[in-house]
Amino acid sequence: NAGVMQNPRHLVRRRGQEARLRCSPMKGHSHVYWYRQLPEEGLKFMVYLQKENIIDESGMPKERFSAEFPKEGPSILRIQQVVRGDSAAYFCASSPVGGLTTGNTIYFGEGSWLTVV
Amino acid sequence: AQTVTQSQPEMSVQEAETVTLSCTYDTSESDYYLFWYKQPPSRQMILVIRQEAYKQQNATENRFSVNFQKAAKSFSLKISDSQLGDAAMYFCAYRSYTGANSKLTFGKGITLSVRP
């Protein structure tokens, strides 16, 4: 859904560098999710954030990965000291609320492709 | 924890024919959402159809419909009058009702090819 904006669409980093992926949720959405898709695999949940809060980071690797969703500005997924295994598509998604509401659907951005060389 | 299983890695259908994609899930919850997402070669995730578990009526969106069997924990997608543009990966997904656990859990996906 074009309403969730991710940038950059493509990012190339050398091993050891840092990667920063940005996500602006749909207007009126206060919940953001990050997913990772490795080649030929499904989407794996990484982290769920609300404004200024991390709600669920059970899918985040313990080291090098961090995420934030500040009061102002986009959500950021940060990968420090990237390795070749970090090469993947990273999808951001947003929803208006986290629980049950009418039309409660998660909408995805177009993804950011990280290549580590 | 919830799990979603798509056991068929690939399927093929003749253009204009009907195809059914299978999905099963495991949960201890009684209320939840189920989704099918389509991922074409562009890799964008596109919502195809949504089903609320408390609704007995199967969801329908134009050529797409589901067969939701709550007791069997089965949620299959039927595509009628298949078109070339339907060729894509299809992911089944589960979402809890509870706010703190409302992430989507995906199956591994199935690659659908459409033969002209």
- The structure tokens listed for A45 are 């949940």
Q: Which residues of B touch A100 (CB under 8 A)?
A: 31, 97
Summarize pLDDT for B12-66 with one digit per residue, the tens.
999 999 999 999 999 998 888 899 999 998 888 899 999 989 888 999 999 999 9
> Which tops the pLDDT comparison, A52 or A18?
A18
Paired strand residues for B113: B12
Q: Report chain A residues whose CB lies below 8 A from the CB of B35.
A: 105
- Please name the residue of chain A whose CA is at the shortest distance from the CA of residue B5: A42
pLDDT computed for residue B90 by the predictor = 97
Q: Residue A70 class from Cβ within 10 Å (0-12 exposed, 13-18 middle, 19+ buried)? A: exposed
pLDDT tens across B82-116, in order?
Answer: 999 999 999 999 988 766 557 889 999 999 999 99
Residue that is written with structure tokens 């995730």 in the block:
B45
Mean pLDDT is lowest, of A110-114, B13-17, B26-30, B72-76, for B26-30
- Residue B81: per-residue pLDDT: 97
* A55 interaction partners in chain B (CB closer than 8 Å): 100
What span, in angstroms and rounded, lies between the C-alpha atoms of B92 and B35? 6
**What DSSP letter does each residue of B43-96 carry, written as one string?**
---EEEEEEETT--SPPEETTEEEEEETTTTEEEEEE-S--GGG-EEEEEEEEE
Per-residue exposure over B20-44, b if at least 16 CB sit within 10 Å of its own CB, e if not: ebbbbbebeeeebbbbbbbbeeeeb
**Distance between CA atoms of residues B57 and B4, nearest Å:** 21
Q: Which of residues 71-110 of A touch B (CB under 8 A)?
A: 89, 91, 93, 95, 97-100, 104-108, 110
C-alpha span between A24 and A6 (Å, rounded) = 6
